[in-house]
Structure 1
Amino acid sequence: MRTYPLRAALSAAFLTTIGAAQAIAQDTGDLVGEPINGKMGFQPAATELARDLHGLDHMLTIITAVIVAFVTLLILWVVVRYNARANKTPAKFTHNTPIEVAWTLLPILILVVIGAYSLPVLFKQQEIPDGDIYIKVTGYQWYWGYEYPDEGIAFDSYMIGQPATGGEYRRTPEVEQMLVDAGYTPDQFLLATDTQVVVPVGKTIVMGVTGADVIHSWTIPAFGVKQDAVPGRVAELWFKAERTGTFFGQCSELCGKDHAYMPITVRVVTEEEYETWLEGAREEYASAETAPRTVRLASAD
């Protein structure tokens, strides 16, 4: 088992393939993680890690609300009970031992409860299990590179509408048509990519994340994962998706002028569909290099 160093410190796409694989990358599952007008809150959890984080957030929200309500009521009671009109002769004292003990022990108890629930969630994220599939993720200015070392597959992933895909960072009719052709809607501009990470549902995925130039951050909110991509270092994250679909994320570390145009898409498919995708991907990307897509297209022509 590989353990992320934080534990020690605390305790001591659609993927462009051919044939059937291309159809799978475009047609399987729901699209998750896009903004919805008028909605608030988290994206629907698709992993145990995400559910744990949602539960922890809800618990902290309740604790915070109770504390705010208690302090507000206490202030109002003091204002009403001890104002100059109601209390013409104020008491003169400097200490109240029971109250001082209470306001010392109660916050300690609250922090112990929060720690008892939050540390297991943190450890679950940072203890990297043995994965069924290992994927190397490299952040570039401004796109992502992916490698499946065990399968000999490597490809890059650009936002549809970037110059590398024939766009100009604008939602033009041509870009909207590219989105539709790729199985997206025009409203998913800035979210959709020309290739996707494809993984099978119910399998443990381990990702080694690094950066090639500056610090980036690989994030899929519905999976409950976020890991900085630091040049010269490889950090790991893991997830096990519980449902099929396409899940959107974004680079979450300011990495330069085109940081806003560096989305992430992960396609979760069934085991059978994954094997079919692999067959096409091995042919499409078996000899691919992690060079910019524009270079690969030029060499193909």
Structure 2
Amino acid sequence: MKKVKSLVLAGLLALAPTLVSNGPALAQENAATAAPAAENAAAPAESAANATAPAAQAAPAATVAAPPRMKPTEGIGMPKPGEITLQEQFTSTGHTARWLHDVMLLPLIFAISIFVLILMIYAMWKFRRSANPVPSKTSHNTLIEVIWTVVPVVILLVVAVPSIGLLADQYKPAPKDAVVVKVTGYQWYWGYEYPDNGIPEFVSNMLPEDKAKANGEPYLLAPDNRLVLPAGRPIKLIITGADVIHAFAVPSLWVKMDAVPGRLNEKSFTIDKPGVYYGQCSELCGARHGFMPIAIEALPPEQFDQWVLSQGGKPATAAAAEKTADAAPAADAKI
């Protein structure tokens, strides 16, 4: 028994240093295990904070509201019942054309028609059979022939000089700072795109009669989406067709240009003042040709820039700056 006790005591004495040395290690291990738990407990709060920051950064800026839809003025930018003259014009070429038509051509046509009518009535009465039993055999009169040659030439020259000037003005190229809009004719609606402002194409369809009347707009001339343009700034329309030939026409702005598939036609003008100006497709294009209205809403420049921003586009100043920046590398490359 004494030997067994001695062996047990000897074994315990041998294991004592190992137990003493392992105690601190176990304590450190337990502490190390507890530390990650504490870190993990704090992690959700940090994650929540980190999640809040990107969410705040990702929150979009407030959208710019579009200007309210402009109300049309009765008799302005639209036809009037019984009107025999041109509509009131709101572009420089339109003013010239209206003056040429209303002040020069209409009175001239009226005067010539009355003169010819009176001359015919006089000849019928003067040379009637009862008063001239023996008819005159006169076949030549130099003075009369000179008069009826010179007078028409003078009339044609008077009409031609301002007409040729008007034709030249209508095809002047737009300046570099013009607002560019691509107009595409479809069967049977219009598409408008603002490439320089970064606004993609949107379509314009005719409003039903009840909605047009509710908006106070003329039926058959009122579309759901208008072509919005600035007043007082030069405008360049690039006009084409997607299927058949259409024609983009707004009489009060003196604008009419064919929309031909596969061809880009240009029309430049400047609108004098804000307003709503109506037009229609003016080229027979199919069954619903009469249901392709056009409405141009001319806004003051500041409101136009606001409208561009509301559509997600860039205003004129930003677009011009980008054009200049894009042109600079090309100029450097040429040098």
TM bracket, shorter-chain basis: 0.7 to 0.9
Tell me, yes or no, if the aligned pair for 1:29 and 1:244 is still in contact at 8 Å.
no
The correspondence for 2:88, drawn from 40, 44, 47, is: 44
User: In structure 2, what is the Cα distance between the partners aligned to 1:78 and 1:282?
Assistant: 73
CA RMSD of aligned residues (A): 2.1
Task: State whether structure 2 residue 232 is matched by structure 1 residue 202.
Answer: yes
Q: Following superposition, which runs of at least 4 residues in structure 1 exceed 6 angstroms of deviation?
A: none
1:160 aligns to 2:207 (yes or no): yes
Match of 2:152 in 1: 107
Partner of 2:188: 142
Of the candidates 80, 95, 99, which is equivalent to residue 55 of structure 1? 99
1:90 aligns with 2:135: yes
**Cα distance in 2 between the residues matched to 1:144 and 1:220:** 13
Residue ranges of structure 1 left out of the alignment (5+ in a row):
1-17, 162-170, 285-301
Q: 2: CA distance between counterparts of 1:94 and 1:260? A: 54
Distance in 2 (CA, whole Å) between partners of 1:101 and 1:40 is 35
**Equivalent position SS for 1:30:** coil
Q: For each residue in 1:232-257, what CA deviation from the matched residue of structure 2 results, as whole angstroms up to 9, or x when unmatched?
A: 11111112111111111100001111
Aligned partners of 1:29 and 1:269 also within 8 Å: no
Report the structure, 1 or 2, having the larger helix content.
Answer: 2
Q: Give the one of 239, 243, 251 matched to 2:269.
A: 239
Structure 1, residues 208-227: CA drift from partner, whole Å, max 9, x if none? Answer: 10001000000111100100
1:192 counterpart = 2:236: no
Q: Size of the alignment, in residue pairs? A: 248
State the one-letter code of the partner of 1:139: G
Provide the C-alpha distance between the structure 2 equivalents of 1:101 and 1:157, rounded to a whole number of angstroms.
58
Counterpart CA distance in 2 for 1:274 and 1:207 is: 16
Q: Larger C-alpha radius of gyration, 1 or 2?
A: 2
Q: Residue 259 in 1 paired to residue 289 in 2?
A: yes
Query: SS of 2:311's equivalent?
Result: helix
Q: TM-score, normalised by structure 2?
A: 0.69
- Asked whether 1:151 is paired with 2:197, we answer yes
Bigger shift: residues 257-266 or 123-132: 123-132
1:251–1:263 contact (8 Å) kept in structure 2: yes
2:122 partner letter: W
Identity of aligned pairs, percent? 38
d(CA) in 1 for partners of 2:160, 2:83: 31
1:250 aligned partner, one-letter code: Q
Which has the larger displacement, 221-230 or 74-83?
Answer: 74-83
Q: Give how far 1:281 is off.
A: 1.1
For 1:240 and 1:69, the matched residues in 2 are separated by 39
* Residue among 118, 122, 126 paired with 2:171: 126
Unaligned runs of 5+ in 2: 1-62, 315-335
Larger relative contact order, structure 1 or 2 (CA cutoff 8 Å, min sep 6): 1
Contact kept, 8 Å, 2:239 with 2:257, in 1: the verdict is: yes
